[in-house]
């Protein structure tokens, strides 16, 4: 399934899918148009041809079975101590890459593909990989999109007083009283994807390093489903034909998960 992504580049897709979400229980396997949400990230990763291996990191055996059904590997379960709501990405990434390394599976780079971003398609991954491998002197690439709410209009509230989130230049009009069109463009990261060299994990204990390249997502590639209202929006996009899901080839998973979507 892999393609040449650069000179001797060997890349692994890592799909995080812990089972303990509180804002949206079981969001990673929520039924969405016939398949669990995670199926679309697996499908796009496999179809992209960028990866030597597609691995799901989960603390749930049920999630692992679902991942395997859709073509990913789930060779180990994530330890419970790094699968909590306050656990850091670097913890499970180090765990996954370390376990793979001990199994004689070493990779020059890795990509994080979160299951909650179902409109990230194979061509999205290929476009990002091409940009990443064509750039020199970087540690990682991260998906971003232009902010809908400019931080220059945001405030920190302390009791009955508040102050602007961003520091203000006293020689210029305050940002909170300036038209957005006159403010500097600000971008926010989204859940679509990240790509990084594994050296930044093992040598620097970070998933992104210091030199980070932006990847500008297009259309709805960066939509992230983290709470029920996000799900409503994503369902509307599909129903209206505005966004398209990756094609999933395996039959819908069952019987442990009841799939209601469609």
What percent of the chain is modeled with pLDDT above 90?
85
Asked if the structure places residue 57 within a domain, the reply is yes
Please indicate, yes or no, if residue 261 is contained in any of the structural domains.
no
Question: How many domains in the chain?
Answer: 2
Q: Which two tokens stand for residue 93?
A: 């990434």
Verify that 97 and 202 share a domain, yes or no.
yes
Instruction: Please determine, for residue 4, whether its predicted confidence score (pLDDT) is greater than 90.
Output: no
pLDDT at residue 38 is higher than 50: yes
Q: How far apart are CA 42 and CA 48, in angstroms?
A: 10
For residues 38 and 152, membership in a common domain is answered with no
Domain range holding 164? 148-185
Q: What pLDDT sits at residue 110?
A: 98
Which pLDDT tens digit goes with each residue over 96-114? 999 999 999 999 999 999 9
Token pair for 44: 């796009």
Q: Are residues 99 and 40 in the same domain?
A: yes
Residues 31 and 88 in one domain: yes
Predicted structure pTM score:
0.90
37 shares its domain with 58: yes
In this predicted structure, the answer to whether residue 195 has a pLDDT above a threshold of 90 is yes
Contact between 261 and 33 under an 8 Å Cβ cutoff? The reply is: yes
How many Å apart are CA 120 and CA 224, to the nearest integer? 10
121 and 44 in a single domain? The answer is yes
Cα dihedral 93→127→253→92 (10° resolution): 0
């Amino acid at each position: 399934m892999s393609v040449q992504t650069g000179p001797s580049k060997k890349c692994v897709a890592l799909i995080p899918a812990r089972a303990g979400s509180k804002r949206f229980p079981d969001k990673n396997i929520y039924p969405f148009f016939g398949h669990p949400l995670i199926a679309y990230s697996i499908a796009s990763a496999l179809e992209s041809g960028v990866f030597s291996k597609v691995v799901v990191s989960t603390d749930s055996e049920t999630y692992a079975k679902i991942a395997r059904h859709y073509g990913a590997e789930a060779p180990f379960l994530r330890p419970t101590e790094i699968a909590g709501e306050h656990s850091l990405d670097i913890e499970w990434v180090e765990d996954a890459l370390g376990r793979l390394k001990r199994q004689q599976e070493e990779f020059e780079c890795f990509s994080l593909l979160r299951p909650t971003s179902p409109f990230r398609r194979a061509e999205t991954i290929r476009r990002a990989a091409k940009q990443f491998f064509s750039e020199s002197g970087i540690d990682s690439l991260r998906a971003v999109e232009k902010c809908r709410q400019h931080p220059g209009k945001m405030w920190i509230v302390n009791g009955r007083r508040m102050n602007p989130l961003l520091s203000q230049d006293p020689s210029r009009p305050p940002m909170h009283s300036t038209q957005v069109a006159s403010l500097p463009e600000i971008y926010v990261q989204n859940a679509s994807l990240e790509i990084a060299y594994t050296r930044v994990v093992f040598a620097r204990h970070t998933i992104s390093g210091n030199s980070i390249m932006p990847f500008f997502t297009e259309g709805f590639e960066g939509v992230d489903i983290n709470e029920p209202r996000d799900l409503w929006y994503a369902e509307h996009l599909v129903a209206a034909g505005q966004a398209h899901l990756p094609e999933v080839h395996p039959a819908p998973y069952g019987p442990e998960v009841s799939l209601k979507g469609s």
